[in-house]
Copies of this chain bind each other. A is one copy, B any other.
């Protein structure tokens, strides 16, 4: 199962080290030999739980193996490498989407529902926004979500490529918004407090207030965020309106 992989980093940043065909194949059970003590799904779930609890940085092959009760190298019987494990984690999380079986008729409402669902998902798995840009392939759960998005957007009167584009942009919006939300909440935390204060002190220093008065004021404003949910909904609506306008 070990791949010879010519995964040397190319001249570009992107490295295509994942094989979609092999990854998402059904993987028939061998009928002879010692039966596996674990499963790909179990390992993926352990990695997700670890990332949820202690952040993406805590997901090491050793830590995941320990959590499952296996030796480190045993993981490589189920997953070719860590990059691929990340891919599996993303798709497993995507499987948590609760999608209605069919569009309701009001495609704007359906779209809003879909992205509210996505927001919940990302709040539940705070590592997801950071992991998404590194994704290289679409797993079955991701594809199912995409299929649903296309079905929802069908009555909107744009082609499939445009619909995919919109889905991608809205997902990006949700990711960056959730990142922002979580950062804001972390600033209230005791650990984040010191950092937040240092940041505010720096922004109020003469060097900043002289050159960038408006920024200094806007960033250090007390900022009573009214309601996270309402803010999200408002922005989401505007994004939907702007992106689906047939201009």
Contact = CB atoms under 8 A, between A and B. Distances in A.
A1 interface: no
Contact of A160 (B140, B201, B205, B221): B221
A55 B14 CA distance: 7
Q: What's the number of copies of this chain in the assembled complex? A: 2
Interface in A185-223: 186, 189, 191-192, 194-195, 198-199, 201-203, 205, 207-208, 211-215, 217-219, 221, 223
Contacts of A30: none
Interface stretch (A65-73, A84-92, A238-246): A238-246
Given A198-B20, A239-B242, A245-B238, A140 B218 contact: no
Which of A11, A20, A203, A208 gathers the greatest number of chain B CB atoms within 10 Å? Answer: A20
11 contacts: A10-B191, A14-B55, A16-B192, A16-B194, A24-B207, A130-B134, A140-B207, A144-B212, A146-B215, A164-B218, A169-B235
